[in-house]
């Protein structure tokens, strides 16, 4: 009996082994035959069908930076579907009044915004300050990494950005009462020290839905972006439970070259034709040489002095990132013998000048939302990679504006009392001062004549012990994070005593004080 049983078992195993092989071969042949298998097709016929089944009280990730790369077709469809409410919207910014996510704020379909910079959106500001909207401000690089981490299965990470600021200490107002008083503050972040440097723990963001704007997509869901319109779109597309892409061009499979696919179709669930016009927030054009010369001649003498001195900070071969305002003017004063690669945190390396009238491109903007061009050899990438470069210290120099700087190099440049703007990328840009030199350009006093260089900053900090040099209309200070300020240059006609009378922080005077220009 045992012998028969063993024989039967072996025959049965042999039978199934042969059958399994045949089945595998048959399945293999069937899968390779385009005539016998069902075709994958993620293309939906309309925006309405693309968002079908979308639930209220979901977390919605929205790509875009300013008005570039914004999924307006899908946003407008949500606006047209008032049953969808209570959304937590995650985006670099909250659109503008009458455009982008601003539409969903106005229709009261968003209950909470997680954003880096909300700019001039007065609707958001009013809703936030009167308790109609919860707002979680997040440094731009941290926001990009929180979205990237969520899509990569990483629940949390440590970043140097925002250590010692209200983000880390939990003193950000998330929600207000109707009378403007604070109803809820943010949660303090855990801090850990690695190799003698403090890092802040941030939790990943995970999306229920992601709205993505693409240049091209195919029926398999493969996606290609165009220039700086990639921004947050790539990281967010990889993140959500349901990723919905609106594409300017829906193309045949194979039309996008494999090495030109920015997001593989495995991350994308639905594709729909984009129908919304592309907007530009700030059209800025190159000026004729005669007009540029006239503008330079009419530039306020204080500001021109600061900008000309800032231009001396550039050294040949540098990679630099410039803040809005005076820092952006500095490259025009750099000599032809110095070649600098400018990086813009929305995803450009090799930033060029402003375009000629008529040559503006909605997919080419800088961090100030202004129209720009690309230099030969430029590259474009996602915001998560852009801030990886920044935090890693690959940027040699950043020049920023400031409201206040302390004697030990603390920087305050993101908030004035009563104003709701946001951090933007500044907290990330100053997070690695050992490798990225941080230079501040600002007028020495404010409009009321009060010092802006203080013993301690009075406004909320952007970063602690990060500013290496301060350039004002009166002088240049070098900053030692331990020992404080040293006066190293004076403007023409300015004395050390004058600087002392207009500076709230103590400083030493160098033995060989040089002229500023």
Specify whether 293 is located in the same domain as 268: no
At 6 the pLDDT is 45
The domain of 508 spans 289-515
Predicted model pTM: 0.90
Is residue 76 in some structural domain? yes
Specify whether 324 is located in the same domain as 208: no
At 287 the pLDDT is 83
Alpha-carbon gap, residue 360 to 286, rounded angstroms:
10
Specify whether 397 is located in the same domain as 490: yes
Specify whether 311 is located in the same domain as 217: no
CA 373, 228, 253 angle in degrees (round to 5)?
120
The proportion of the chain whose per-residue pLDDT surpasses 70, expressed as a percent, equals 91
Domains: count for the chain: 2
**CATH value at residue 208:** 3.40.1080.10
Specify whether 310 is located in the same domain as 212: no
Specify whether 266 is located in the same domain as 317: no
Q: How much is the mean pLDDT over the chain?
A: 91
Specify whether 261 is located in the same domain as 302: no
- Within a 10 A sphere around the Cβ of 69, how many other Cβ atoms? 30
- pLDDT tens digits, 321-374: 999 889 999 998 999 899 999 999 999 999 999 999 999 999 999 999 999 999
Is residue 253 in some structural domain? yes
Alpha-carbon gap, residue 486 to 71, rounded angstroms:
50
Specify whether 359 is located in the same domain as 253: no
Specify whether 301 is located in the same domain as 355: yes
Alpha-carbon gap, residue 410 to 484, rounded angstroms:
11
**Residue at a domain's end among 249, 273, 297:** 273
Alpha-carbon gap, residue 394 to 383, rounded angstroms:
15
Q: Is the model more confident about 174 or about 300?
A: 174
86-108 burial string, b = 16+ CB within 10 Å, else e?
ebbbbbbbbbbeebbbbbbbbee
517 pLDDT band (50/70/90 cuts)? Answer: confident
Residue 345: active-site member: yes
Alpha-carbon gap, residue 474 to 502, rounded angstroms:
10
At 419 the pLDDT is 78
3-state secondary structure 54-77: CCCCCEEEECCECCECCCHHHHHH
The residue length of the chain stands at 517
Q: What is the mean pLDDT of residues 34-61?
A: 90
Catalytic residue, candidates 345, 360, 385, 489: 345
Specify whether 484 is located in the same domain as 344: yes
Q: What is the mean pLDDT of residues 173-185?
A: 95
Residue 490 gets the label, from left (phi > 0), alpha (psi -120 to 50) or beta, of: beta
Is residue 29 in some structural domain? no
Nearest to 371 by CA among 388, 387, 389, 351: 351
At residue 89, does pLDDT exceed 90? yes
The answer to whether 104 touches 80, Cβ cutoff 8 Å, is no
Coil/strand/helix, residue 9: helix
3-state secondary structure 166-219: HHHHCCCEEEECCCCCEEEECCCCCEEEECCEEEEEEECCCCCEEEEEEEEEEC
- pLDDT tens digits, 428-470: 999 999 999 999 999 999 999 999 999 999 999 999 999 999 9
**Residue at a domain's end among 244, 273, 302:** 273
Q: Is the model more confident about 447 or about 120?
A: 447
At residue 147, does pLDDT exceed 80? yes
Is residue 70 in some structural domain? yes
Is residue 36 in some structural domain? no
**Residue at a domain's end among 222, 240, 273:** 273
Specify whether 326 is located in the same domain as 411: yes
Is residue 35 in some structural domain? no
Specify whether 321 is located in the same domain as 453: yes
- Within a 10 A sphere around the Cβ of 52, how many other Cβ atoms? 11
Is residue 30 in some structural domain? no
Is residue 423 in some structural domain? yes
């Amino acid at each position: 009996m045992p012998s028969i049983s063993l024989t039967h078992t072996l025959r049965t195993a042999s039978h199934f082994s042969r059958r399994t092989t045949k089945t595998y071969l048959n399945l293999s042949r069937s899968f390779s035959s385009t005539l016998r298998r069902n075709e994958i097709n993620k293309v939906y016929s309309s925006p309405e069908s693309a968002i079908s089944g979308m639930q209220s009280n979901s977390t919605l990730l929205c790509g875009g930076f300013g008005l570039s790369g914004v999924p307006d077709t899908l946003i407008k469809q949500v606006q047209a579907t008032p049953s969808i409410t209570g959304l937590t919207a995650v985006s670099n910014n909250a659109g503008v009044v009458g455009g982008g996510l601003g539409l969903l704020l106005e229709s009261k379909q968003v209950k909470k915004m997680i954003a880096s910079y909300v700019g001039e959106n007065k609707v958001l500001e009013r809703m936030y300050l009167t308790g109609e909207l919860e707002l979680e401000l997040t440094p731009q690089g941290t926001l990009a990494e929180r979205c990237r981490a969520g899509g990569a299965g990483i629940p949390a990470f440590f970043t140097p950005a925002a250590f010692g600021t209200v983000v880390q200490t939990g003193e950000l107002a998330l929600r207000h009462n109707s009378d403007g008083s604070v109803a809820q503050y943010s949660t303090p972040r855990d801090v850990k020290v690695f190799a003698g440097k403090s890092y802040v723990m941030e939790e990943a963001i995970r999306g229920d839905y992601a709205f993505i704007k693409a240049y091209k997509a195919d029926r398999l869901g493969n996606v290609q972006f165009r220039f700086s319109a990639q921004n947050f779109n790539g990281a967010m597309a990889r993140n959500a439970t349901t990723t919905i892409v609106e594409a300017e061009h829906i193309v045949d499979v194979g039309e996008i070259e494999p090495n030109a696919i920015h997001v593989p179709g495995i991350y994308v669930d639905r594709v729909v034709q984009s129908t919304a016009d592309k907007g530009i927030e700030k059209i800025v054009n190159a000026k004729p040489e005669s007009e540029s010369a006239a503008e330079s001649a009419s530039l306020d003498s204080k500001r021109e002095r600061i900008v000309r001195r800032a231009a001396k900070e550039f050294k040949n071969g540098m990679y630099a990132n410039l803040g809005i305002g005076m820092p952006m003017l500095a490259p025009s004063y750099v000599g032809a013998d110095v070649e600098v690669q400018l990086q813009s945190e929305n995803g450009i390396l090799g930033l060029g000048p402003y375009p000629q009238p008529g040559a503006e491109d909605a997919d080419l903007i800088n961090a100030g939302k202004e129209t720009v061009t690309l230099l030969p050899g430029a590259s474009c990438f996602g915001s998560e990679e852009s801030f990886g470069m920044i935090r890693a210290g690959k940027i040699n120099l950043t020049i920023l504006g400031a409201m206040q700087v302390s004697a030990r190099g603390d920087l305050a440049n993101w908030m004035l009392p009563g104003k709701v703007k946001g951090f933007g990328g500044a907290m990330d840009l100053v997070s690695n001062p050992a490798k990225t030199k941080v230079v501040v350009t600002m007028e020495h006093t404010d409009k009321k004549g009060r010092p802006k260089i203080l013993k301690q900053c009075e406004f909320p900090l952007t970063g602690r012990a990060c500013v290496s040099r301060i350039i004002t209309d009166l002088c240049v200070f070098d900053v030692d994070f331990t020992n404080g300020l040293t006066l190293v240059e004076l403007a023409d006609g300015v004395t050390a005593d004058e600087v002392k009378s207009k500076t709230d922080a103590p400083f030493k005077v160098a033995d060989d004080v040089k002229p500023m220009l």
